[in-house]
Structures are given as C-alpha cells and as structure tokens.
Amino acid sequence: MDRSDVEQLITEIYGELREQAARLARRAGGGPTPSSLVHDAVLRLYRRAPERWTDERHFRATAALALKQVLIDGARRRGAEKRGGNVERAEASEARVAELQHEIVQLGEVLAALEAASPRTARVVALKVLGELENEEIADALGVSRSTVDREWRGARALLGAWGRA
C-alpha cells in the first residue's frame, strides 16, 4: 500500500471507526470523545509506513487496534494523575470511572503479554473485546478462517477470565 491508498481507506472507514470509538468511549464511561479517539488513532496510522499493510483487511484490523491503544494510553495517563485527573464524569460515578480505567489498563497489560506470546491471539482478543466484532468479522479482518478465530478466542478466554471480562 502507498500513502494515497491509506488516505483513501481512512476516508472510507472513518464512519466505522467512529462507531467503534463511540462503543469504546461508552464502555470507558468517560474520557475522550469518539471523534478525538478516531483522530488520535488516524494520527498513529499516518505515522506508520504505508508499506507495512499488506491489504485493506490488514489496515482495518490495525485501525481497530489503534483505537484500542489510544484508549489504553489515555486511561494510563488519567490513572497516573491524582484521582483520575480532570476527567468529566457525566453519568458514571467516580468509583465506576476509576474501575473502568483500571480495567482498560489491565486489558492493555494482558494484550501486551499476549502479543509477546501470540500476536494473532492478541489481535483476535482486541477485535473481539474492544472492537466488539463477531468471530466471522474478525476472521475476515485478519484473513484467517472462522475456526482459527474460534480456537484463538477459546484459548484466550482463560486468560481473560482472570481479568474478569470473558
């Protein structure tokens, strides 16, 4: 892929990324807006060399993971500030926001550990848990079979069970 392919794909999938970001922001109970999540993720994508992506599926999966990483990095920053910093807590209680931020940071740590052991399994987990994709959609995004995704997900559930989200 070249830079113009990336720009075209970002334009094409912006709406999908916005929907994913809205789901992630709702689940996080505060913090960045969906638009800011998408914009930060797009900036991360632009910083990467376009030849790293083999095709559109690979790019879409990377974009979903970039959203996740933006959210995790934000939660880590807020967690480092006293009592969550200046996060606006519209509907969620302060305790729930802190709990969700802690869960997001934990998920980031689990995914980092999983990435070292099995990068594909880490991508499956990220797309399933954070992207809220179905196994068939994950298979399509990663270019693998549905049975491979099913197997990877079953293997990761034990780890996620300890985290409390499977």
Count of other CB atoms within 10 angstroms of residue 53: 20
The verdict on pTM exceeding 0.75 is no
Backbone angles phi, psi at 42, to 5 degrees: -60, -40
pLDDT of residue 60: 79
User: Where does residue 55 fall: left (phi above 0), alpha (psi -120 to 50 degrees), or beta otherwise?
Assistant: beta
Quote the number of domains for the chain. 1
Which domain covers residue 120, as residue numbers?
A: 3-163
87 has pLDDT over 60 = no
Nearest to 139, CA basis, from 118, 147, 131:
147
What average pLDDT does the segment 29-55 reach?
A: 79
User: Where does residue 144 fall: left (phi above 0), alpha (psi -120 to 50 degrees), or beta otherwise?
Assistant: beta
**Rounded Cα gap, residues 92 and 89, in angstroms:** 6
